Homo-oligomer: A and B are copies of this chain.
């Protein structure tokens, strides 16, 4: 049994206003080429198919085409789940019919416990869910967080295990100990949103979605994120994007990350205004990429963004390099401010902003407010 593991397509995602649909269509075709080359039996999509619960018409049209390409034209088995960015109800439409052609799209918690069997492998397709879904499903009010919920979910799945088969979990959550980038939407706050790895060790392979970095888990070879198909934020610029090819045998699991090159990359460059506008400099870089630019200049330059966009049409961020000496200066200033009393701090702030002094009346009012506040504490 050999399958392709992918996740976090986020169809319809925009990068600082730029539509990525062209890049998404392109990388999908590259992924399909790998599927053919590797002669996989199935394509596994671990959630966040769309970027939004109500995707745009263009995003829907693109995924409609992809569905037909994967399952109708190329006749791959498809095993997919909804992620936290998808609307499970909207994605669910038609899933009964999809199933009849080997396109398994799970959007409800209860579907996770009926394994999809392909050859010698049981696939448990667990869509993204909230703790209250698990409370309802198990009828147990003690389930307050994802960790507790997952322990119960996995327990119930193991009851369905056929010991002669391999067991694969397809899921979408934050696995404890993995490293985030800043383009995933945090699912829940308070440290209870993550699932400890040891809960997942009963599976031969866990195909995860949610984190966009394929290298987010280093401790467990058989619990892996595929990562997103594209870089969805400047913070992901150093990440290699792609898919995983997973091969399951009776006694062994093997997974290989295969990188995919995007139609247009996301990159960060640091340079001076002079360099940026010099052909010998900009002809060496991919000006069509989505670029974050950090300027080394310190002087004011008018119409900067307009000028640079004529050379670099897809600038997604533009800032100034903060030099080390400047950083020290800011830090010292902050340190000094912390020591001031609230009334002095407020006085300085008022003067800095308004360029006027506080009146006697205002000063009295501030003192009273501070005293009142202390009493309440």
Contact = CB atoms under 8 A, between A and B. Distances in A.
Interface string A58-102: 001101100110011000000000000001011011111110110
A75 B98 CA distance: 16
Interface string A298-331: 0000000000000000000000000000000000
A326 B81 CA distance: 66
A103 interface: yes
Identical chains in the assembly: 2
A57 interface: yes
A269 interface: no
12 contacts: A60-B89, A61-B89, A63-B93, A64-B92, A64-B93, A68-B96, A71-B97, A72-B96, A94-B98, A97-B98, A97-B100, A97-B103
Interface in A89-124: 89-90, 92-98, 100-101, 103
Nearest to A91: B93
A60 B107 CA distance: 14
Interface in A215-236: none
A321 B90 CA distance: 46
A263 B232 CA distance: 49
Nearest to A92: B64
Interface in A117-157: none
A54 interface: yes
Contacts of A92: 64
Contacts of A61: 89
A86 to B, nearest CB: 12
A309 to B, nearest CB: 32
Contact of A94 (B54, B57, B89, B94): B94
B94 A93 contact: yes
A61 B88 CA distance: 10
Contacts of A71: 97
Most chain B CB within a 10 A radius of its CB, from A64, A67, A71, A94: A94
A7 to B, nearest CB: 20
Contacts of A97: 71-72, 94, 97-98, 100-101, 103
A95 B54 CA distance: 19
A75 to B, nearest CB: 12
Given A57-B87, A87-B57, A93 B96 contact: no
A171 B69 CA distance: 29
A282 B102 CA distance: 58
Contacts of A98: 94, 97
A55 to B, nearest CB: 9
B93 A60 contact: yes
A98 B87 CA distance: 21
A64 B97 CA distance: 11
A67 B54 CA distance: 21
A130 to B, nearest CB: 15
A93 to B, nearest CB: 5
B100 A57 contact: no
A94 B61 CA distance: 11
Contacts of A89: 57, 60-61, 64
Contacts of A101: 97, 100
A61 B97 CA distance: 16
A57 B101 CA distance: 26
A61 B96 CA distance: 14
Nearest to A95: B94
Contacts of A100: 97, 100-101
